[in-house]
Each structure stands twice: as structure tokens, then as C-alpha cells.
């Protein structure tokens, strides 16, 4: 069975993110991500929901190594809830913008969307 460090690295690479990009989204350094991927350290619990969102993997899959069941994650209210749709970036510049956008607080995201909203 693979270790958390290996599953984390595989998920990051599959998502097309560098350690630096993932660190930016999590507001940690590249060396922190490297330490997690090499098994020297583990991320704090508060970062797990953000890791799940940024890597598009369930916590069961990332932490426990359980295989996902048809791209879904468990929820208390219903048996399963599907992953939030995650658009793909067309190039590295767009990917960088997307990672930075996802790293913003909800309030700043709303302000940015208001700023770039097309005029009617």
C-alpha cells in the first residue's frame, strides 16, 4: 500500500501542479510540500479540506488510500456527493491564475468576480 506522501505527490502531479503552486494555494512554502511528499512531515488538519479541493481527491483516498467510488466523496446528509466541477487550464499562465484565484478568500473571490463581470 502506498504512503500518504506518495499519494499526495501522485495527486499533485496528476493535477498538473508544481510544489510551489500547491504551496501557494495552501499558503505554505514549497519546502513544506516537499517535506510532506518525502514523508518527513505531514500537513496540519486545517489544510486537509483545501488539499481535497485543490487536488480533486477525497480525503479517504488521500489520507487512507481508499479507492474513490465513481468520483464521489462521502457526505453526512446523503450517501454520496459528487466532486465540485473543476475546469482545466489551457496553459501554464492560465493554470497559475486559477491556482491563485482558488487561494483567495470567499470575500476576495466575490470582489474579483464583481470587478470582471461583463457590463449589461
Q: What is the pLDDT of residues 18-53, one digit of tens each?
A: 999 999 999 999 999 999 999 999 999 999 999 999
CA dihedral 105, 68, 34, 36 (to 10 degrees): 90
Provide the pLDDT for residue 87.
57
Q: Which domain holds residue 36?
A: 4-85
Considering the entire predicted model, what is its pTM?
0.57
Q: Is residue 15 part of a domain?
A: yes
Pairwise CA distance, residues 62 & 29, whole Å: 20
- The count of domains in the chain is 1
- Asked if residue 79 is part of any domain, the answer here is yes
| Selection from 94, 99, 92, 109 nearest residue 26 by Cα | 99
For residue 77, the domain's CATH number is 1.10.260.40
The pLDDT tens digits for 100-111 are: 887 777 788 888
Question: Comparing 57 with 106, which gets the higher pLDDT?
Answer: 57
Amino acid at each position: 500500500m502506498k504512503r500518504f506522501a506518495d499519494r499526495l505527490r501522485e495527486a499533485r502531479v496528476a493535477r498538473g501542479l508544481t510544489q510551489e503552486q500547491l504551496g501557494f494555494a495552501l499558503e505554505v512554502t514549497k519546502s513544506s510540500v516537499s517535506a510532506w511528499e518525502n514523508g518527513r512531515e505531514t500537513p496540519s488538519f486545517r489544510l486537509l479540506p483545501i488539499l481535497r479541493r485543490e487536488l480533486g481527491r477525497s480525503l479517504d483516498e488521500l489520507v487512507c488510500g481508499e479507492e474513490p467510488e465513481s468520483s464521489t466523496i462521502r457526505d453526512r446528509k446523503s450517501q454520496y456527493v459528487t466532486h465540485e466541477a473543476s475546469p482545466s487550464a489551457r496553459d501554464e499562465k492560465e493554470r497559475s491564475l486559477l491556482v491563485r484565484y482558488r487561494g483567495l478568500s470567499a470575500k476576495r473571490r466575490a470582489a474579483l468576480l464583481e470587478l470582471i463581470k461583463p457590463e449589461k
